Amino acid sequence: QVQLVESGGGLVQPGGSLRLSCAASGIIFSIYHMGWYRQAPGKQREWVAVITSGGSTNYADSVKGRFTISRDNAKKTLYLQMNSLRPEDTAVYYCNTYPSTTAYWGQGTQVTVSS
């Protein structure tokens, strides 16, 4: 069935960069709007960015100008380029359809921004 596997997280210093990947299987990837979401310690999961099936993008105000979402439909992979990282970006990052599908949440990948 559907599997979404996030990777690329890690520990970075403030101002640093990371590129996250989300490998999809069991889904006709190209027809779905896809999004990145994150959940910080003690907080609810929030939406971060979306890319439509046609390639249009939008971002949460908190990451606008710093993060870039992209997709490679041939590879069935979603990406999130994260630049100018801040401690408040620390969270587990997840990919999913947009709007999200409850059954599709994976394990996420941990991003920690700290000195």
What pLDDT, on a 0 to 100 scale, did the predictor assign at position 82? 98
Task: Label residue 15 by pLDDT band (50, 70, 90).
Answer: very high
Query: How many Cβ atoms from other residues are within 10 Å of residue 113's Cβ?
Result: 20
The alpha carbon of residue 106 and the mean position of all alpha carbons in its chain are separated, in whole angstroms, by 12
Q: Around Cβ 44, how many Cβ atoms within 10 Å?
A: 6
For residue 100, the SS3 value is coil
Report pLDDT for 105. 97
Q: What is the pLDDT of residues 99-108, one digit of tens each?
A: 999 999 999 9
- Encode pLDDT of 37-83 as tens digits: 999 999 999 999 999 999 999 999 999 999 999 999 999 999 999 99
